[in-house]
Homo-oligomer: A and B are copies of this chain.
Amino acid sequence: MQTRLDMERIRAARRVIDPVFLDSPLYRCEALEPVLGCSLNIKLETANPVRSFKGRATEVVADQLARSDSRAVVCASAGNLGQALAWSGRHRDLDVTVVASRFATPAKLDRIRALGATLELVDGDHELARQRAAAIAHSEGIRLLEDSLDLETCEAAATIALELVPCLEPYDDPLRPLRSADRPPEYGRPVVLVALGGGAMATGIGYVLKTLTPHVEVVCVQPHGAPAMTRSWHQRRVVSTDTTNTIADGVAGRHPIPEVLEDLLVVADDAVLVHESSIITAIRLLHDHAGLIAEPSAALGIAAVLEDPARFADRPVTTIICGSNVDQTKYRNWI
């Protein structure tokens, strides 16, 4: 399997990531199963200081920088990466700059500021923020952290999958975290549903699962309102879009990165698009039946099951609740 990712580096990433981000909860959520028609495991990446999985990546990057001569870093972010980089940089005395769209979720921007990073807002979308971050890095000669392009972001996200593997292996594995009696009967092929944006999480998790549990289907999920990477995956070439229109701010890119697409073509079994209404229903179901607050990007997996129940019927489904940083006014409307 030819990708940019490397299993040894992924295992090494675990050793530098603060334990507060590792070994996040993984459990069966039976209350949602009758609604979804499948069995459901939840991997919860929100019970940590930055309420998203991005801390895994920024820990790796900040650890590198802290060991180097360069102690300044800039990234573009829809909010979660920036918040995590601010957190990881703060206690290593790094100089962190985050560039974000002025239309980003205000709660995420507030947290970036509160964590002591310099926040620069651009009058455009995430792609403009990416350009601006690159310009800052170039003019100031500092590290540019590019989500999904920089391998650390993919390989750190891949550590999530290392933690999934035991529950995806056959029942007789003595190391499984879920005891056999609480695991649903495996009527069908296990499937892991991963939110797809820039591709860091999807390529990272896909790489580990395809390497260690090749029987597991890896399905990426993106909103119809931000379909660039999914279209690219299906056409096997980079397809950009002119605009995005989705509540799932965390995955709303327009210009897929060629190297990431190459990896995704190797490790993903499918990429599907879901409607905004399904994302909102998924958010509400997670609230009502699982007691979880999920941001829209974190609800994409559940939305995919809602849109194609026949495909997932009676199968063991695992999805990653990858963030909970929501705008509270919008959230109250969604639920």
Contacts and interface: CB of A to CB of B under 8 A. Distances in A.
Interface of A: 18-20, 23-31, 44, 46-49, 51, 87, 90-92, 111, 114-115, 177-179, 181-182, 287-288, 291-293, 324-326, 328, 332, 335
A51 B111 contact: no
B182 A49 contact: yes
Nearest to A325: B291
Contact of A182 (B20, B25, B29, B291): B20
B293 A291 contact: yes
Contact of A324 (B91, B115, B291): B291
A51 B18 contact: no
Contacts of A181: 90-92
Contact of A31 (B111, B177, B326): B111
B20 A49 contact: no
A19 B177 contact: yes
Nearest to A33: B114
A26 B27 CA distance: 17
B91 A18 contact: no
Contacts of A182: 18, 20, 49, 87, 91
Contacts of A288: 328
A162 to B, nearest CB: 16
Given A178-B20, A182-B18, A47 B25 contact: yes
A80 B31 CA distance: 14
